[in-house]
Amino acid sequence: MKCKDIERLVIKSSGKLPDSKQLETIHLHVEHCNKCSRLKEDVESLRSLLRQRPTLVLPEDLDKKTYQKCVSEIQSLQKNKQRAGFGQHMQSIPIHMKAVFISFLVLTVIWIFPFFKDFGFSGEPLSVSTIFGLFWIIQNAMMLLFAPLLIRRFRPNKLNTQFVN
Amino acid sequence: MNNSTVFDELYGRYKSSLYSLACYLTRNQKEAEDLFQDTWLRIAKHLAHQTIDIDNCKTWMMTITSNLYRDWLRKKRVRKSFSFQKSNPDGQTGTYLEKPMWGEKACLENDPKHLEVKMALSKALAGLPPKQRLIFVLKEIEGYKYSEIGEMLSVPEGTVKSVMHRAIRKLRKDLWVYNPKKAIIASV
């Protein structure tokens, strides 16, 4: 291995020893190469100095201040979320769509009039085709009546959060 | 889990490590405090929008701190170019060194001979260019791998390696007088 490779390995190891093969290579190289042995020594002493560094204590006032700021930020975000969500969870149907639905509904109800004569005012029983026709019209009318409700969807809630623990 | 509960958990677990990272990066008490606060405020905002895995979010938090630090450096550079202020009083390329990381209190407990070396290391760290310091701190102090640092900072792994090499070379150069053999400089 060249000096460059050894340098790379020594710096890369970050306090942890590379695998045994690499370690052997480093040892063999370092024995003969003065430059790399000095580099290894320097990096090791630098790391040992860094290991001795004191733990930095978070100032109490900063700790409290930051915590309070963040908690109030979270609360205000939650309030905004609730305010934004109130009454707007359901997406409203545009007016022109409502007009189309109402007109279809009216037309469907109008289709029912031709069947009135078969409604058994004459005392005769209803034919099967009349029953199917009636059923079809009523079904359509009901569908058109509730279509706006069925189409309404919950807003895609971007603020909805899930936590994985 | 409630947002506040998650935040409490995160804050309790990671406040110290984020504070120490902020200190090592900025080398300035006031700026470290600002960076620390900004990081936590950013985290609080993210909590409302993101799914967070509490056990594995340290890297994500470190990324936030690193990105904020880089933004802060950028702003500082712009501010500097529009002002006529003199450069740092200690003549370092890094930020103004108010308090060295190894204060006298911490060093007196140990061998007083080491005080000078520790202070010199602290100064040498402060003297690293910000990009080199960021990568050095993430690698040597926080213990991340090159690939992880690359992902965190959105830079290629090769760049991280070369910056790290440059940082170590500079530190060796700055600290060579403290080596008993005093021959390191020849190899740098």
ipTM attached to this prediction = 0.73
The number of angstroms, rounded, from the C-alpha of B123 to the middle of its chain's C-alpha atoms is 13
Q: Is the pLDDT confidence value at A85 over 80?
A: no
> Of B59 and A149, which is predicted with more confidence?
B59
State the best of B21, B40, B99 to mutate against chain A, taking most chain A CBs within 10 Å. Answer: B40
Q: Is the pLDDT confidence value at A140 over 80?
A: yes
Q: Please state the rounded mean pLDDT for residues A126-151.
A: 79
CB A66 within 8 A of CB B40: yes
How much is the pLDDT for B185?
37
* Chain B: closest CA distance from residue A64 (Å): 11
How much is the pLDDT for A157?
47
How open is the CA angle B119-A61-A80, to the nearest 5 degrees?
125
CB-CB neighbors (< 8 A) of B49 in chain A:
158-159, 161
Q: Is the pLDDT confidence value at A34 over 60?
A: yes
Give the residue from chain A lying closest to B17, CA to CA: A56
Q: Is the pLDDT confidence value at B112 over 60?
A: no
Q: Is the pLDDT confidence value at A136 over 90?
A: no
Q: Please state the rounded mean pLDDT for residues A7-36.
A: 76
Q: Is residue B103 part of a domain?
A: no
How much is the pLDDT for B173?
84
Domain boundaries, position B31: 1-85
Sign of CA dihedral B63, B66, B69, B74: negative
Longest dimension (CA), chain A: 119
CB-CB neighbors (< 8 A) of A67 in chain B:
11
Contact across the interface for B187 and A8, Cβ inside 8 Å: no
- CA distance to A87, A90, A102, A140, per residue, from A150 (Å): 17, 11, 15, 14
* Chain A: closest CA distance from residue B143 (Å): 7
Predicted confidence (pLDDT) per residue in A68-83, tens digit: 999 888 888 877 776 6
CB A80 within 8 A of CB B152: no
Q: What is the overall mean pLDDT for chain B?
A: 77
How much is the pLDDT for B183?
44
Closest CA to B20 of B147, B140, B108, B127: B140
CB B95 within 8 A of CB B24: no
Q: Is residue B148 part of a domain?
A: no
Q: Residue B39: which pLDDT band, with cuts at 50, 70 and 90?
A: very high
Determine what percent of chain A is predicted with pLDDT higher than 90: 4
Query: In sequence order, what are the residues at sequence separation of 6 or more whose Cβ sits closer than 8 angstroms to the Cβ of residue A49?
Result: B117, B118, B121
Q: How far apart are CA B146 and CA B169, in angstroms?
A: 17
- Other beta carbons within 10 angstroms of residue B141's beta carbon come to 16
Give the residue from chain A lying closest to B139, CA to CA: A14
Q: Is residue B30 part of a domain?
A: yes
Q: Is residue B92 part of a domain?
A: no
Q: Is residue B169 part of a domain?
A: no
Contact across the interface for A165 and B19, Cβ inside 8 Å: no
How much is the pLDDT for B82?
66
CB-CB neighbors (< 8 A) of B117 in chain A:
49
* Chain B: closest CA distance from residue A150 (Å): 29
* Chain B: closest CA distance from residue A97 (Å): 33
**CB-closest option in B4, B37, B171 to A66:** B37
How much is the pLDDT for A41?
81
Q: Residue A127: which pLDDT band, with cuts at 50, 70 and 90?
A: confident
How much is the pLDDT for B140?
86
CB B99 within 8 A of CB B24: no
Q: Is residue B71 part of a domain?
A: yes
Q: Please state the rounded mean pLDDT for residues A93-119.
A: 77
Number of domains in chain B: 1
Give the residue from chain B lying closest to A11, CA to CA: B165
DSSP letter, residue A90: B
| Six token digits for residue A88 | 């707007």
Contact across the interface for B53 and A35, Cβ inside 8 Å: no
* Chain B: closest CA distance from residue A157 (Å): 10
CATH number at residue B63: 1.10.1740
pTM of the model: 0.63
Q: Is residue B102 part of a domain?
A: no
- The size of the A-B interface in CB pairs under 8 A is 125
CB-CB neighbors (< 8 A) of B42 in chain A:
none
Run of H or E including B129: none
Q: Is the pLDDT confidence value at A31 over 90?
A: no
> Of B48 and B73, which is predicted with more confidence?
B73
